[in-house]
A and B are shown apart, each in its own frame.
Chain A
Amino acid sequence: MFKKKKGFVLVETLIVTSVLVVALMIVYQNYNSTVSMEKTKFRYDDIADIYKTFYLKDYLEHATGTGKKYNTTGIPLNLYGLYYTTQAANKDDGDYVFANMQKPKVVNEITCKDDANLNNLCEKLGVEKIYVMRYCFIDEIKKVKMASAISDDLFNGDVDTATYVLKMGITNIKDYGASGKAKYQLIVKFSKKYNDGSFCSGDDCVKSFASININLADMYDWSVTGDQGGLYCK
Chain B
Amino acid sequence: MQLNKKGVTLVEVIVSISLISVILLFLYQLIATVNYERDGQNFAVNNQLQRTEIIKTINQHFIEAKATNPKYSVQYYTNNSSVTINGVISINISKNKISATSSVNSFSHTWNLNKNLTYDFSRVEVIDANLDNCTEQADKEIKCSGVGEKEIPILNGYRLLKIRIPINPLTIPSSSDNNYLDDIELTYMKKV
Complex interface: stretch among B66-74, B86-94, B111-119, B179-187:
B179-187
Query: Is B3 part of the contact surface with A, judged by Cβ < 8 Å?
Result: no
Contact call A35/B59, Cβ cutoff below 8 A? no
CA–CA, A62 and B184, complex, Å:
28
Chain B binding surface SS class: mixed
CA–CA, A47 and B53, complex, Å:
9
Inside 8 A of B127's CB, which chain A residues have their CB?
124
Contact call B23/A24, Cβ cutoff below 8 A? yes
How many residues of B are counted as interface, with CB atoms below 8 angstroms from the partner's CB atoms? Answer: 31
Inside 8 A of B34's CB, which chain A residues have their CB?
35, 38
Query: Is B56 part of the contact surface with A, judged by Cβ < 8 Å?
Result: yes
In the complex, chain A residues 54-88 whose Cβ is within 8 Å of any chain B Cβ? 55, 58-59, 62-63
Inside 8 A of B155's CB, which chain A residues have their CB?
120-121, 124
Chain A binding surface SS class: helix
- Cβ-defined partner of A121 (8 Å) among B23, B56, B156, B179: B156
Query: Is B170 part of the contact surface with A, judged by Cβ < 8 Å?
Result: no
Q: How far is the CB of A207 from chain B (nearest CB, A)?
A: 12
Across chains A and B, the number of contacting residue pairs, with CB separation under 8 Å, is: 64
Which residue on B lies nearest to A43, using beta carbons? B181
In the complex, chain B residues 52-79 whose Cβ is within 8 Å of any chain A Cβ? 52, 55-56, 59
CA–CA, A24 and B27, complex, Å:
11
Known contacts A24-B23, A47-B55, A51-B59; is A120 also within 8 Å of B187 by CB?
no
Name the interface size band of chain A: 20 to 34
Contact call B179/A204, Cβ cutoff below 8 A? yes
Known contacts A63-B157, A117-B156, A121-B155; is A55 also within 8 Å of B56 by CB?
no
Inside 8 A of B160's CB, which chain A residues have their CB?
121, 124
CA–CA, A125 and B26, complex, Å:
40
Q: How far is the CB of A36 from chain B (nearest CB, A)?
A: 10
Inside 8 A of A28's CB, which chain B residues have their CB?
26, 30
Choose among B59, B180, B189 the residue with the greatest number of A CB atoms under 10 Å from its CB.
Answer: B189
**What is the interface of chain B, defined by CB distance below 8 A to chain A?**
5, 23, 26, 30, 33-34, 37, 41, 51-52, 55-56, 59, 127, 129, 155-158, 160, 162, 177, 179-181, 184-187, 189, 191
If A47-B52, A52-B187 are given as contacts, then 17 extra A-B residue pairs at C-beta distance below 8 Å, sorted by A number, are A6-B5, A24-B26, A28-B30, A38-B34, A41-B41, A48-B55, A48-B184, A48-B187, A51-B187, A55-B187, A55-B189, A58-B189, A63-B156, A121-B155, A121-B160, A124-B129, A124-B160
Ranked nearest first, the 9 interchain pairs of A and B with the lowest CB-CB distance are: A48-B185, A117-B156, A55-B189, A51-B59, A47-B55, A47-B52, A31-B30, A38-B37, A35-B33
